[in-house]
């Protein structure tokens, strides 16, 4: 698949490299794309500015600071019919009012807000709940050794595509249901940053449901 990485830092850089290694076509974005060239060359990926990268992929991984999402949406415009994977987490100390408002608004989930900024996209929440070093160091495992990656969406087909992308790089998708279930793996929620193997993650879920 053609995958755009918007925000090629700890999360985007590691996931994009893994996907390129297993044969996906990857473009990394930066506000300074020339600085990503050696990382991209290592795995045969492309680099671009934010607009070029948003236009490139069928799937967009959004891995930037949550507070920058509204400005980014203004900058790149619509992502109509693309799959948008939201990996961002709202932290008021880093993301200011954008994060605080969504935390205070009980009618809104973190990824629900991101989806509202890209109304034509098929939004999937994934990769928010696993520490980046785990993505870097524990990819390409098999069976019960795989670390669980929580995922949810209102679009079943888009979610299936993202679950396959999780499996492609040796992690285990843990499907929690529709987008409202994102509250289970937002910051401070029971499944947030536990970095569990899939069997342990399922057990924990059964204990909290
Ligand atoms: N770190 C983790 O373990 C972890 C785990 C799960 C989820 N997350 C979430 O994932 C997101 C990314 O985290 P990270 O640790 O990967 O952050 P990071 O290493 O700081 O990378 C974020 C990238 O976003 C880009 N960026 C920053 N502001 C931008 C803007 N206004 N427009 C476009 N691009 C912008 C930066 O690229 P340039 O400077 O090159 O443009 C930077 O490389 C955050 O929301 C975080 O909460 C992090």
C-beta of 73 in contact with ligand 1 (< 6 A):
no
The minimum-distance atom of ligand 1 relative to the CA of 94 is 47
Per-domain residue ranges of the chain: 2-208
Give the number of C-alpha atoms closer than 13 A to the C-alpha of residue 45, restricted to the C-beta side.
Answer: 36
Question: Tens of pLDDT along 181-197?
Answer: 999 999 999 999 999 99
- Roughly what angle, to the nearest 10 degrees, separates helices 110-117 and 69-76? 20
Tokens of 114: 């991101």
Q: What is the CATH number of domain 2-208?
A: 3.40.50.720
Q: Per the structure block, which two tokens stand in for 183?
A: 């509250």
Which ligand 1 atom is the nearest neighbour of the CA of 66? 45
pLDDT, one tens digit per residue, over 82-133 is: 999 999 999 999 999 999 999 999 999 999 999 999 999 999 999 999 999 9
The answer to whether 114 and 79 have CB atoms below 8 angstroms apart is: no
**How many whole angstroms from 11 Cα to the centroid of ligand 1?**
7
Kindly state the percentage of the chain with pLDDT values over 70. Answer: 100
Instruction: Calculate how far, in angstroms, residue 203's C-alpha sits from the geometric centre of ligand 1.
Output: 31
CB-ligand 1 contact for 8 (6 Å cutoff): yes
- Residue 96 contacts by C-beta under 8 Å, 6 or more apart in sequence? 67
pLDDT of residue 209: 84
Contact by Cβ (8 Å): 84, 6: no
């Amino acid at each position: 698949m053609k995958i755009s990485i918007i925000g090629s830092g700890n999360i985007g850089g590691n996931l994009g490299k893994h996907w390129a290694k297993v044969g996906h076509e990857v473009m990394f974005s930066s506000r300074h794309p020339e600085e990503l060239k050696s990382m991209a060359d290592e795995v045969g990926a492309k680099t671009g500015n934010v607009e070029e990268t948003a236009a490139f992929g069928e799937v967009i991984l959004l891995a930037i600071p949550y507070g920058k999402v509204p400005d980014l949406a203004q900058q790149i415009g619509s992502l109509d019919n693309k799959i948008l994977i939201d990996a961002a987490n709202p932290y008021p100390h880093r993301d200011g009012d954008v994060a605080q408002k969504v935390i205070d608004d009980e009618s809104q989930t973190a990824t629900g807000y991101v989806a509202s900024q890209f109304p034509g996209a098929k939004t999937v929440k994934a990769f928010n709940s696993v520490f980046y070093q785990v993505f870097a160091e524990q990819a390409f495992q098999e069976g019960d050794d795989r670390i669980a990656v929580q995922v949810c969406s209102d679009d079943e087909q888009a979610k299936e595509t993202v679950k396959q992308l999780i499996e492609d790089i040796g992690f285990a998708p843990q499907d929690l249901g529709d987008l409202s279930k994102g509250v289970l793996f937002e910051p401070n929620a029971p499944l947030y940053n536990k970095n569990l193997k899939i069997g342990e993650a399922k057990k924990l879920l059964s204990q909290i449901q």
